[in-house]
Amino acid sequence: MPIRTVTACCTPEDWKLAALLLDEYLCWLGSASGVGDVRSVQRSADLETTDLRLAFGGPDDRFFLGRLGSRAAGTVGVRRCDDGGAELVRLYVHPAARGSGLGRLLVQRAIEHATAIHSGRLVLDTHDGVMPAAVSLYRRFGFIEVDEPCPIPVSGAARFVLPLAGSGVHSPA
């Protein structure tokens, strides 16, 4: 099996590869959720596809690119929230790389980054009916579904939270 790596996007080539994977993810998500063009219902998706580097340009924000060998195969982003927490966004693993453990490494890297920037918690919004494997992965890392408003305008969307304060880096169960 090829070596799996996850690094923060830094070079123009990293950003280009990440943008291609993000576009692929948004097309898949729109189709799988029945929304169509995700950019029309998620304002952040429109900015991300226009200028990914700008969308993750905050001093604590990061967008990570996962690779299997030399091939770009996955993404995840972390954004600092106004409440001092952080948000995990745009976890995507190319279909050919699913089952390789790359998704687990991407989530682990996102948690490590959120912990490093002293976030009190890491939140994410997802849809169990559309992404059951991702939801299962989040739960293995200790994310719990909470009764908080979820900004995803799709029936069945849910918010998950992982408390981070003083808890160190999480590993999947």
The answer to whether residue 169 is domain-embedded is no
**Domain of residue 116, CATH code:** 3.40.630.30
The answer to whether residue 172 is domain-embedded is no
The answer to whether residue 170 is domain-embedded is no
pLDDT of residue 55: 87
Looking at per-residue pLDDT, the higher value among 14 and 129 belongs to 14
The answer to whether residue 57 is domain-embedded is yes
Q: Among the residues of 84-152, which ranges form H helices?
A: 102-116, 132-140
The answer to whether residue 27 is domain-embedded is yes
Sheet of 157-163, strand order: 4-8, 62-68, 71-80, 86-93, 121-127, 157-163, 144-146
The answer to whether residue 173 is domain-embedded is no
* Alpha carbons 63 and 53: distance in angstroms, whole number: 8
pLDDT band at 172 (very low <50, low <70, confident <90, very high): low
Output the six-digit token pair for 117: 């920037």
What Å distances lie between residue 165 and 42, 100, 101, 127, 137, CA to CA? 29, 30, 26, 26, 21
Q: 128: number of CA atoms within 13 Å, CB side?
A: 9
Residues 143-169, mean pLDDT to the nearest whole number: 78
Q: What does the DSSP 8-state code read for residue 129? A: T
Q: Is residue 142 classed as helix, strand or coil in its secondary structure?
A: coil
Convert the pLDDT of each residue in 73-118 to its tens digit.
Answer: 999 999 999 888 999 999 999 999 999 999 999 999 999 999 999 9
pLDDT of residue 166: 59
Q: Which residues contact 156 (CB under 8 A, 6 or more apart)?
A: 127, 128, 129, 130
Say how many domains are in the chain. Answer: 1
Q: What is the pTM of this model?
A: 0.88
The answer to whether residue 34 is domain-embedded is yes
Convert the pLDDT of each residue in 15-67 to its tens digit.
Answer: 999 999 998 888 887 777 776 666 555 555 555 667 889 889 899 999 999 99
Structural domain containing residue 137: 4-163
pLDDT of residue 171: 64
Output the six-digit token pair for 70: 């030399």
The answer to whether residue 171 is domain-embedded is no
* Alpha carbons 74 and 153: distance in angstroms, whole number: 24
